[in-house]
Chain A
Amino acid sequence: DAMVIQNPRYQVTQFGKPVTLSCSQTLNHNVMYWYQQKSSQAPKLLFHYYDKDFNNEADTPDNFQSRRPNTSFCFLDIRSPGLGDAAMYLCATSRDHHASEQYFGPGTRLTVT
């Protein structure tokens, strides 16, 4: 059974048109993460939530926002997608902050036209 679910798996949006990616988890984990992964590169952390506490990475553009309405769901909002935002977006969860395995979802492949 899927533990970290991401929808949609593929998303096409137009340049400048807001888009929302969603992630849900059945693990009841405290921490949820959003990563951006471009082709042939390692995942890059954008931000994470520890419960309701939001933690933004210093180099994450303001164009990227996140919401976590409850334990199970977390959303990634891209307010004005640019061509450079085309990437795989990975959601992950972990029970705790440190020394705790992160479980990744299958990712959403975002294309910007």
Chain B
Amino acid sequence: GESVGLHLPTLSVQEGDNSIINCAYSNSASDYFIWYKQESGKGPQFIIDIRSNMDKRQGQRVTVLLNKTVKHLSLQIAATQPGDSAVYFCAEQGGSEKLVFGKGTKLTVNP
């Protein structure tokens, strides 16, 4: 069935370093992927998305990479700041139209 998982539940980085958050998905039919950021007590906030016909997309300080061969998605955050501390979820969408969320990675940025 559809499922999305993450390699690491927690990630701790120093302020100013680059962060890489990884995600593995199992549904090869998924054609749309999103990264969300969720701060404590708040709803998920859209960061960036990518369609399956792309392998890279860049935003402001963020880059999403999609490797369909190994069904792997990653989020790179450049020059990580304390305000980036949050839980990050990847999500996939395929034929069922349902957005399936991964388990989440908690990013902690140390000053």
Contact = CB atoms under 8 A, between A and B. Distances in A.
| Co-assembled chains A and B | yes
Interface of A: 4, 40-45, 57, 90, 92, 97-99, 101-107, 109
A99 B36 CA distance: 14
B32 A104 contact: no
B101 A43 contact: yes
Nearest to A109: B41
Contact of B43 (A40, A98, A106): A106
A101 B49 contact: yes
Interface size of B as a range: 20 to 34
B44 A43 contact: yes
B43 A99 contact: no
A105 B102 contact: no
Interface stretch (B66-74, B76-84, B92-100): B92-100
Interface of B: 31-32, 34, 36, 41-46, 49, 51, 89, 93, 97-99, 101-104
Contacts of A99: 31-32, 49, 51, 93
A99 B54 CA distance: 13
A88 B34 CA distance: 21
A45 B4 CA distance: 14
Nearest first, the 6 A-B pairs at minimum CB distance are A104-B43, A42-B101, A99-B32, A97-B97, A104-B44, A107-B43
A101 B102 CA distance: 16
A106 B39 CA distance: 10
B83 to A, nearest CB: 17
A98 B97 contact: yes
B103 to A, nearest CB: 6
Contacts of A98: 32, 93, 97
Nearest to A90: B43
A97 B96 CA distance: 10
Nearest to A103: B46
A41 B103 contact: yes
